[in-house]
A = this chain, B = another copy of it.
Amino acid sequence: MPPVKKYIKEDIINVAYNIVKNEGYEGVNARRIARELGCSVQPIFHNFSSMDELNKEVYVKIYDKYKEYMISGKDNKENAYKHMGLAYIKFAKDYPEFFKILFMQKTDLSAESIVINDDMGNDVIKMGQILTGLSYEEQTKFHVKVWVFTHGIACLVATRTVQFTDNEIAELLESTVRQMLVGYKGGK
């Protein structure tokens, strides 16, 4: 019954997603998306009940991109821990606006998507214990420190405050983790 549907959800989401990628959510509005699609605003409100709904679907796509990075870091058996940290920072470097949205602003949505939650934190800590040989308590502290440090680099990269190369990042993270570890093992 309907005439050809020219503008589907996916296309609209993609346009919005790309705007957010470059400018954050501030650049997104109905007329701007319509212009870039070459249509009026009607297809947007036909496919989404409101801009809010569209923005939420864009958020999901952003979070999917983040998961993509973190999963790719995970496949490394030996150095999974290290690669997850590097993937986190790489994401901040490749998609700074996304990183800011996910981890540098407090919103209702972002609250759930934080790295340290009880479940996955436990897994990571137990996995780490195998590598480090630290006690559970020490490994937990160690993990928090590595996480803080990693997050620190990522934030600096996302805001373009510093421009580390990939090598500099790897070296910075690696040597710091090594030093912290020496500190734990040497100290006690």
A interface residue numbers (CB < 8 A to B): 100, 103-106, 114, 116, 141, 144-145, 148-153, 155-156, 159-162, 172, 175-176, 178-184, 186-187
Interface residues of chain A: helix, strand, loop or mixed (majority): helix
CB pair B178 A183 closer than 8 Å: yes
Q: In whole Å, how far is A163's beta carbon from the nearest beta carbon of chain B? A: 12
CB pair B153 A148 closer than 8 Å: yes
The number of times this chain is found in the oligomer is: 2
User: A104 vs B105: C-alpha distance in the bound complex, in angstroms?
Assistant: 9
User: A183 vs B149: C-alpha distance in the bound complex, in angstroms?
Assistant: 16
In the complex with contacts A184-B179, A187-B179, A148-B159 CB distance below 8 A: no
The residue on B at minimum CB distance from A183 is: B179
Q: In whole Å, how far is A92's beta carbon from the nearest beta carbon of chain B? A: 12
In the complex with contacts A144-B172, A179-B180, A183-B178, A151-B159 CB distance below 8 A: no
20 pairs from A and B in contact (CB 8 Å cutoff): A100-B104, A103-B159, A103-B161, A104-B155, A106-B159, A141-B175, A145-B172, A145-B179, A148-B156, A148-B172, A149-B152, A151-B152, A152-B152, A176-B180, A179-B180, A179-B182, A180-B180, A182-B182, A182-B186, A186-B186
